[in-house]
Amino acid sequence: MKIFSKTAAAVCAALPLLPMKDVHAQIPVAIELVLAVDTSRSVDGFEYRLLMKGIASAFRRPETIALIEQLDGVAVTLFQWNSRVDERYMIPWHLLQDRASVMSFAAKVEAAERDPHRLFTAIGGAIDFGVRQITGNAFEGRQLKIDVSGDGRNNTGISPSIPRQEADSLGIVINGLPIVTHTYNNAYDLNQYYREHVISGPGAFVETAKDYDDFARAFLRKLQREMSPLVGRENSAPRAPVQEARAGQESIH
């Protein structure tokens, strides 16, 4: 079993993704942030690289690093989703506290290999997986957030409404970044879909990319908005249901 140190210094490097039975939430952070990136069949190889470079660039910006340094720890992970999530292509939890830790995470994002299985658009499954990453990690965040970015509507798997309800009950906020790419996905339609079927929780918001070339700008704006102390309840403790969910997973085993 992996044993986590009680000091933040011991976890500044990437934290391996562990089975829920092996985790003990004990590392306090300001924000737990899950980045859920659409890599379904509508996203080609060039567009995938724009996504990864845009995310990496946003974290590398001096103003982003300054925001992170003002907080007492930001835990972040990234996974790709389509009809499923293949954990082999995840970037595991990282604790960001300073420029070095942020730059290390950004480098891994930019170099991330794409899941070769380009399947359908399972937003509900992505949200569900994101919820499980928060309930099963080694952190205790005052703010709990899942970011869903994608260029289409849910067309396979469970309805997003089911995991949205669970996220809401656990105090997890879901923000959205729709990418407008197709004629039928005009700005109003996809924005409205994300507002009605994806985002959830106090202060949840949508930040729209006009196309893939605009993704880097939109992601930077969204990320910095999320890091602002004005978004969410910066000084509140995680809601009891998350702690109970983690404790429940431990007691099962």
Decide: helix, strand or coil at residue 17: coil
- The answer on pLDDT for 18 being more than 50 is no
**Do the Cβ atoms of 152 and 126 come closer than 8 Å?**
no
> What's the CA gap between 97 and 74, in Å, rounded?
7
> What's the CA gap between 209 and 181, in Å, rounded?
9
Architecture of domain 23-252: 3-Layer(aba) Sandwich (3.40)
Q: Give bridge partners of residue 179 from the DSSP assignment.
A: 209
Closest residue by Cα to residue 147 from 198, 214, 203, 216: 198
Q: Give bridge partners of residue 178 from the DSSP assignment.
A: 150
**Do the Cβ atoms of 197 and 206 come closer than 8 Å?**
no
Closest residue by Cα to residue 32 from 226, 240, 229: 226
**What pLDDT sits at residue 185?**
57
Can you say whether residue 40 is alpha, beta or left, with left for phi > 0 and alpha for psi between -120 and 50 degrees?
Answer: beta
Q: What single DSSP character describes residue 85?
A: -
> What's the CA gap between 160 and 124, in Å, rounded?
4
Query: Which residues fall within 8 angstroms of residue 187, CB to CB, at 6 or more apart?
Result: 180, 208, 210
Note the pLDDT tens digit of each residue in 19-68. Answer: 333 445 589 999 999 999 999 999 999 999 999 999 999 999 999 999 99
**What pLDDT sits at residue 52?**
98
- The answer on pLDDT for 163 being more than 50 is yes
Of residues 99 and 185, more confidence is placed in: 99
How confident is the prediction for the chain on average, in pLDDT?
A: 85
Domain limits, the chain: 23-252
**What pLDDT sits at residue 118?**
85
> What's the CA gap between 103 and 109, in Å, rounded?
10
Is residue 249 very low, low, confident or very high in pLDDT (cuts 50, 70, 90)?
Answer: low
The string over 46-72, giving b where at least 16 C-beta atoms fall within 10 Å of a residue's C-beta and e elsewhere, is: ebbebbbebbbbbbbeeebbebbeebe
> What's the CA gap between 113 and 49, in Å, rounded?
10
